[in-house]
Amino acid sequence: MHDVRASSSMSSSDVKREALALGFDLCGIAPAAGFPELRFLDEWLARGYAGEMHYMQRSAGRRADVRNVMPAARSVIVLGTLYNTDRPYSTTLPDAGHAAIARYAWGDDYHAVIERRLDSLVTRLGGIAGDGFEARAYVDTGPVQERVYAQHAGLGWIGKNTCVINPVLGSWMFLSVVVTNRPLDPDAAALDQCGSCALCLEACPTGALRAPHVLDSTRCLSYLTIEVKGSIASALREAVGAHAYGCDICQDVCPWNSMPTTGVSTDPSWQARAGLAAPRLLDLWRATDDGLRALLKGSAMKRAGVKRLRRNLAVAIGNSGDPDAASALVSSAEPTARDPLVEEHVAWAVEKLGGASHHD
Ligand code: SF4
Ligand code: SF4
């Protein structure tokens, strides 16, 4: 489909006004161009850094350029949605008995919430742009390298921790994009402001940040606790620490997330659910499968499911150093606790805690 009109009736300021009205915190525009940074994906995949995320490989051709997704694409509208809340960072958890859960997963599932907002935005923009308007909206799972377009849309630079960092608000934001066939005035690209800092690389517990801007997902706790379907490699289990779902360390330590201006959202969608506000590992473990399913319903954590969550909990409890926890681990009769995958991690944890036999 072609836009035959010489110029769009929709301006960049129309787009930004509508985006902000719908609750997006940031909106910038990048041209639908073949930016050099897009080419790093092939090398990253060739190094095996995507691990089991085969969808990355499958969609690599489309991810190389948004014009592979929409041949008539002229602009990429990039939206940022802050999800930070005013709760403490994982690096300051009160003690080892608490579960570390990635900040973005505490509230409602961002895919669902942001998809609804993107649908509304596309509808509104269609009303302004008129005939011939083409748009495709994606949040996170689409075949678009959002971070590269975010940098070129001026939302922030891609930090050494691979997150997009806004110089005022920090990096706690969901990115989403609307690819459109309309030419729009682009924003200036953001400038890299990491400088000589290397705090994220130094703090990563598994060395997953192999070099500035280079994440080996196969070592990253986000990948290991969410994407991996089978066993967590024994050699990395200790480094999992208290992480039950995802990891925030490389954002927690980033100075751009500890500024007076760092964004804090009051959006009810991102506030921690009752059971996910600094839960204790053992409380989560002792919950029934149905209870855990109810907790995960409508949350981004449902991506891992109850079985993987239990597997992660077993490892984290094994790392807690609490010898009394071993008996709790072996005494659960819930079906997912009896799953061979989970039982294998429970056995590892029990051994690490010094055994459970004297509790039985
Ligand atoms: S999320 Fe955690 S494990 Fe992954 S790179 Fe960052 S600090 Fe390392
Ligand atoms: S911790 Fe330092 S090096 Fe890492 S992303 Fe933040 S500013 Fe950049």
Tell me the torsion sign for CA atoms 27, 30, 35, 41.
Answer: positive
Find the range with the poorest average confidence among 26-30, 54-58, 164-168, 186-190: 54-58
CA of 185 to the centre of ligand 1 (A): 36
CA of 161 to the centre of ligand 2 (A): 6
350 falls within a domain = yes
CA of 169 to the centre of ligand 2 (A): 14
106-116: buried (b, 16+ CB within 10 Å) or exposed (e) per residue? bbbbbeebbbe
Given a cut of 90, whether residue 256 has pLDDT beyond it is yes
65 falls within a domain = yes
- Take atom 2 of ligand 1 and give the residue whose Cα is closest: 247
Query: In angstroms, how far is the first alpha carbon of the chain from the final one?
Result: 69
146 falls within a domain = yes
> Which residues line ligand 2 at a C-beta cut-off of 6 Å?
159-161, 194, 197-200, 253-256
Residue type, 137: A
1 falls within a domain = no
Given a cut of 60, whether residue 3 has pLDDT beyond it is no
Active-site entry in 14, 65, 140, 267: 140
The pLDDT of residue 356: 58
357 falls within a domain = yes
345 falls within a domain = yes
Based on the structure, what is the number of domains in the chain? 2
Of ligand 2's listed atoms, the one at least distance from the Cα of 199 is 1
pLDDT tens digit sequence for 81-94: 999 998 878 777 66
Residue type, 9: S
Given a cut of 50, whether residue 360 has pLDDT beyond it is no
Beta strands, E only, 258-299: none
Given a cut of 90, whether residue 342 has pLDDT beyond it is yes
Is the whole-model pTM more than 0.85?
yes
- Take atom 8 of ligand 1 and give the residue whose Cα is closest: 204
Same domain, 156 and 21: yes
Given a cut of 50, whether residue 169 has pLDDT beyond it is yes
Find the range with the poorest average confidence among 89-103, 293-307, 325-339, 341-355: 89-103
- Take atom 5 of ligand 2 and give the residue whose Cα is closest: 159
Q: Six-digit token pair at 337?
A: 């606790």
Angle at 150 between CA 149 and CA 151, to 5 degrees: 90
Same domain, 309 and 169: no
- CA dist., res. 29 & res. 27, Å (int): 7
Q: Which of the listed residues 180, 214, 246 is the one where a domain comes to its end?
A: 180
The pLDDT of residue 358: 44
- What integer is the mean pLDDT of 207-234? 96
Percent of the chain with pLDDT over 70: 96
Active site residue 140: yes
270 falls within a domain = no
60 falls within a domain = yes
Same domain, 61 and 174: yes
Same domain, 174 and 30: yes
- What integer is the mean pLDDT of 121-131? 96
Given a cut of 90, whether residue 291 has pLDDT beyond it is yes
Which residues span the domain enclosing 358? 280-360
**Pairwise pLDDT comparison (277 vs 248), residue with the higher score:** 248
Q: Which of the listed residues 161, 180, 199 is the one where a domain comes to its end?
A: 180
- CA dist., res. 3 & res. 86, Å (int): 45
